[in-house]
Structure 1
Amino acid sequence: MKPLYVIKIGGNVIDNSENLHYFLNDFASLDGYKILIHGGGKIATDLSHTMGIEPKMVDGRRITDIETLRVVTMVYAGLINKNIVAQLQRFSCNAIGLTGADANLIRAARRPVKDIDYGFVGDLNPYSVDSQKLAALLETAVVPVFSAITHDGEGQLLNTNADTIASSIAVAMSGLYKTSLVYCFEKKGVLRDVNSDESVIREISSSEFAGLKADNVIAGGMLPKLENAFKAINSGVSEVYIGKSDELPYLNEQSFGTRLFE
């Protein structure tokens, strides 16, 4: 199988133009098949304030009413996505900016209302990503760049978590490529000591993860990240990396962040 990197960048990269510039240069230099997924950072929140729309959050999750959906679509699928694509073209990386609606590549379902109505938020299932169509794009030497906007097939756009999109794409493509899922964020990797950036755990197997969780070495916000990562590995993804965006050039040297594997 040919190798494929599915790489997700967070708001900490997008919000800093210098960080984004260097990351995209490194991403463009990465050999082989690759897909980039990005979130929105603070720009959508700032624009909402400018337009007099008060952002609504519950437990760190954005409530996407119709006005907010318009804002995040403009920002995620428009401003941020096209800025990233333009910069990648500058670095001789032939990128194409996409939402899930384009070519019906990612179809989501609106999240059901339970205790909280999240509004126009999309959830994905194992059949959401059209892997064959996405592979056809990759085989034409085009690099897909996905924003965190999907659709429901009935004409409705939906705001969808970028981490979830990255994981779903990686799982879907793992039947066609040797797929590595890479999460780039502000830390150097999974830390043994949260107060020391130098305490990176370089490799964690699924059995080691159980022990680290039992010993409370991995807890808090990192716990769901790793649980979702191992779900992806159990669903066919070869490996998952979690590391700092400015260390992406070390990915092929196996010294980037933390590598998770079966």
Structure 2
Amino acid sequence: MAEKPRPRLIAYELDQPLPPIRPAGVRRDWMDATPGGFAYRCLPLTIANGHGWEVQGQTGFEAWWNGGDRPEDVTIRVLKPGGLAPASHFGAGILTFPIPTLLRTDPGIGLWVSGPPNAVKDGIAPLAGLVESDWSPMTFTMNWRFTRPDQVVRFLPGEPVCFFFPLQRGLAADTCPEVRPLAEAPELEAAHRAWREGRNRFNAALCQPGSEARAQGWQRHYHRGLNPDGTPTTADHRTRVQVRPFPGPSRRPAEPA
């Protein structure tokens, strides 16, 4: 039986070298700093961190915004020159990174473009966009907006400035939301009740010195893809996502978690 073709993601080279693009890493400084690294126990969080590719900035700089609406109301001071330099193009406190490659996807597939997930940066926030990359001959920019005036923000060379992943176009619009009583799904209701009661017992036991719950530290049903009774849920459960790298030495995979 022939293997199903894998979706393609093509980065076309333009009149300059491709920016460094690599599979996104799951590590975050603030997650490392949590006691015992407990933030990494949240599987949805870590999966989201690595669920795509990130474009690395090459210019070290600091920037600030005086609160005005003009492009010149953003000041950029380069600390270490390099490629993929930022600009103040749109005004309204927006910092812009041109992404010098033309990304193309298969028909019906677009790209969700934003900043790296769960990577908070004080004073500035990434803006998100959905690009119809299956037909567009146009490049796009990655934009960040200052959250308050007179706050200096710094980007280091190699720091991710853009994050993207493929998304089926029209999926959200074609989805039909419903509301139903949980009692209409007896098996799901029983599983949910078992999980809720088990979670309440576990949290109560965490307060008891020497308890089994304290020894375990946290419940692992979701992480292991198990129902509350220990039975497996789906063969497609994943504890990590490792996207494929783009060819080239500057686009090597990020370090594993």
- Same fold at TM > 0.5: no
Larger Rg over CA atoms:
2
Name the structure, 1 or 2, with higher relative contact order (CA <8 Å, separation 6+): 2
Calculate the TM-score normalised by the size of structure 2: 0.27
The structure in which a higher percent of residues are helix is 1
Calculate the TM-score normalised by the size of structure 1: 0.27
